[in-house]
Amino acid sequence: MVKSVVHAYPWDLIGDPDAVARYQGLGVDAIALAASYHTVRAATPLHPRHRLVDARHAAFYLPVREANFGRLVPAEPSWMDGSDSFGEAAALVRAAGLPVYAWTVLTHNSRLGDLHPDVTVVNAFGDRYPYALCTAQPDVVEYTSVLVSEVLELGAPDGIILEACGPLGFFHGGHHEKTDGTDWNPVQQKLLSLCFCSACTALYADPDALREAVRTGVDRGARSVEDALGALAEDVQAVRTGVVRSLRQKLVGEIRAAAPSVRVGMHVTADPWGTGPFATVAGGVGADVDVLTTMCWPGPEAAVPGIEALRAVAPDTRIAAYVLGLPPKPADGAALSKEWLAYLDAGVEEFHLYHGGLASAARLEALREAVAAVSR
């Protein structure tokens, strides 16, 4: 059966008595609420009390029990009333009879990166990415483990969706991004995403040679990551995929032990050099994940090969398409339906909609039409 999940923020539901019914009217099977999320300035076009929410830093939308964390402690959201906005919003969803999934962003956290720069990603040129926590760092692994544990205990969700379950890279950075003029292609961006923090450097067979190869590949425009790294590529790929797999195995294992009935979803890519919100599963998932969600915002031409590659990596795992109802997509149900049906034909079994609270009434109607088209 095709399943649909709509994503939303706690503030989309709190104070809006019609929000849950509006999302339920899309025909979805569950609502994914942000439990841990990065900085965002979010529009709320249909909320009866406000039109914008300025979430000025990454925050945890459940009570922050500081004593349970180690060196890295998430911040509370000062723009929300009370310490449990996730719980308040989740109660509204449950009252309507829908399951609640905890949308949990792990390593995209500029606030913690600013406070603890030593645990952030560093590129081959020595530039730090303060928004990107590196999962080769033990403190980051501990932080993600406690974060997930707190979500399960305090939020008691029906499902959990792990985003950025691995290190972020060059892409997905600043609020006022000024990098387009470089004309760096995807290969150069992947090279700029390779981390040289203290923990990662200790894992590479020849970090000095690797650093030089990456710098040269970026400045000369290598044809592929493998072309840039040459004989070092196999070792580096094994290190990068291994670090992410290790974190995935740890967190999913802990979820299964603490809450066996919770549905586990994860944002992933089959690209071995993938970083960012969609962590790499190249070489095998290696964990008991219920659904793997892959990026489909660019459209079928780019997304279908990604779906097929993910199916090759995880032939027996349910695959979801992360679909966009916001610009540059049109507020056009027929156009969205055509796109989503292409993903259905490619083997997708779920659709995760972005985003309930950010969408206008016309865009919600287009999403409703597309959900109906893939649910027939």
pLDDT along the chain (376 residues), means of 10: 93 97 97 96 95 95 98 97 96 97 97 97 96 97 98 98 94 64 86 97 97 95 94 97 97 98 98 94 96 97 97 96 97 98 97 97 98 93
Separation CA 287–CA 166 (nearest Å): 14
Place of tokens 């922050």: 64
Contact (Cβ atoms closer than 8 angstroms) between residue 222 and residue 188:
yes
Phi, psi of 55 (to 5 degrees): -85, 95
The pLDDT assigned to 201 comes to: 97
The pLDDT assigned to 376 comes to: 79
Instruction: Please tell me what DSSP assigns to residue 171.
Output: S
The pLDDT assigned to 304 comes to: 98
Residue 260, judged by CB atoms within 10 A of its CB (0-12, 13-18, 19+), counts as: exposed
The pLDDT assigned to 175 comes to: 61
Its pTM stands at 0.95
Instruction: Please tell me what DSSP assigns to residue 74.
Output: P
Residue of 256, 276, 314, 267 whose CA lies nearest to 295: 267
Phi, psi of 266 (to 5 degrees): -155, 140
Cis bond upstream, residue 207 (ω within 30): no
The pLDDT assigned to 2 comes to: 78
Mapping DSSP to helix (H, G, I), strand (E, B) and coil, where does residue 127 land? coil
Contact (Cβ atoms closer than 8 angstroms) between residue 164 and residue 247:
no
**CATH architecture, range 3-375:** Alpha-Beta Barrel (3.20)
Quote the tokens at residue 23: 């999302």
